[in-house]
Amino acid sequence: MAPAALLLLTRIGIPVSTTFLVLSAFATTVVLEKMLIKSMVGYGVAAFSAYLIWLLLERLIDEKQNRISIPRRRAWRIAQ
């Protein structure tokens, strides 16, 4: 049943973790619940880390200041 469900969900276009699908057939609900909680916490940590890195890089890379002198702007545009 699990491979058929995986095939159906993939065919519809829903991304599915095969780990959860296979383990749901063999694992107890407690184990499955712990896996889901760990996954959600992992997604939260990844989102928080990405936001923090974005904030740090945004401060380092300031695109609003134009540091190129006026005579070199044309050459810089051509080089880009």
**Domain positions in the chain:** 2-63
Residues in the chain, overall count: 80
What pLDDT is recorded for position 41? 92
CA distance 17 to 36: 11
What pLDDT is recorded for position 66? 64
What pLDDT is recorded for position 9? 79
Compute how many other C-beta atoms are within 10 angstroms of the C-beta atom of residue 28: 9
**Among 4, 2, 41, CA closest to 19:** 2
What pLDDT is recorded for position 60? 79
Q: Give the three-class secondary structure for 20.
A: helix
Contacts with 5 (C-beta within 8 Å, 6 or more apart), sequence order: 21
What pLDDT is recorded for position 74? 81
Question: What residues of the chain score a pLDDT lower than 50?
Answer: none
